[in-house]
């Protein structure tokens, strides 16, 4: 499922999942962007059956070491764009940038948060980089119980899972398996 994201750098865009997911990790995967892949985010969820409370990215309950990314943009001339800068509504501070930014602009870029315990996640909130016209305009969301095997958040009628694991046959090799299932719906003619 591809979610529509931002159309500017400061508006908070909220996307609720068709079905909440009980998980320990959430990953936002960029599929389209403006300028450069940059974002700030928050997760919505709780430990009960239905809710839409902030899960703790913005307020620091999810600490810096629990926020990771595919990579982080940095050069000798440019300030770092650490993953933990991706907290929703994070302002630009002296000597820092106001958001996470990926090194590369391609569909392999992601940012993730690890919850301290399994959480029912009902959606995400994202916004762009406050100090530059950069934002994610489309994205997918993955979830995982262990940080190794990932499934995409999906619509109720299409099941798309992606499992990622490491092979330990003498070297670490990233393998990817995609399984697509779309129910066959027959309508009387």
Over residues 80-96, mean pLDDT: 84
**pLDDT category, 188, cuts 50, 70, 90?**
very low
Cβ partners under 8 Å of residue 69, min gap 6: 83, 86, 100, 102, 109, 110, 111, 112
Its domain, for residue 58, covers 3-181
CA distances from 21 to 71, 120, 125, 188 (A): 26, 6, 15, 34
pLDDT at 96 over 80: no
Question: Is 189 contained in some domain?
Answer: no
The confidence band for 93, taking pLDDT boundaries of 50, 70 and 90, is: confident
What is the domain count for the chain? 1
Q: Is 9 left (phi over 0), alpha (psi -120 to 50) or beta?
A: alpha
Query: In the 8-state DSSP scheme, what is residue 64?
Result: G
Instruction: Return d(Cα 15, Cα 37) in angstroms, integer.
Output: 18
Residue 27 resides in a domain = yes
Prediction pTM value: 0.79
Contact 121, 57 (CB under 8 A): no
Q: Model confidence at 57, in pLDDT bands (50, 70, 90)? A: very high
Residues 102/75, Cβ–Cβ less than 8 Å: no
In the predicted structure, residue 9 carries a pLDDT above the cut 70: yes
Mean confidence (pLDDT) of the chain: 81
pLDDT (average), residues 156-164 = 47
Res 116: pLDDT: 87
The answer as to whether 125 is a domain residue is yes
pLDDT of residue 76: 58
């Amino acid at each position: 499922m591809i979610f529509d994201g931002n159309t500017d750098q400061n508006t908070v865009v909220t996307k609720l999942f068709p079905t909440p997911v009980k998980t320990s990790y959430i990953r936002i995967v960029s599929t389209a962007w403006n300028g450069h892949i940059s974002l700030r985010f928050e997760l919505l969820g709780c430990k009960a059956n239905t809710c839409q409370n902030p899960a703790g990215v913005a307020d620091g309950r999810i600490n810096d070491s629990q926020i990771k990314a595919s990579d982080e943009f940095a050069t000798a001339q440019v300030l770092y764009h650490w993953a933990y800068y991706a907290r929703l509504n994070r302002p630009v501070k002296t000597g820092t940038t106001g958001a996470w930014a990926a090194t590369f602009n391609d569909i392999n870029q992601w940012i993730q948060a690890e919850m301290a315990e399994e959480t029912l996640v009902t959606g995400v909130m994202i916004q762009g980089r406050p100090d530059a016209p950069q934002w994610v305009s489309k994205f997918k969301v993955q979830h995982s119980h262990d940080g190794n095997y990932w499934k995409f958040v999906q619509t109720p009628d299409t099941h798309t899972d992606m499992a990622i694991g490491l092979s330990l046959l003498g070297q670490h090799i990233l393998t990817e398996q995609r399984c697509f299932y779309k129910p066959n719906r027959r309508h009387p003619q």
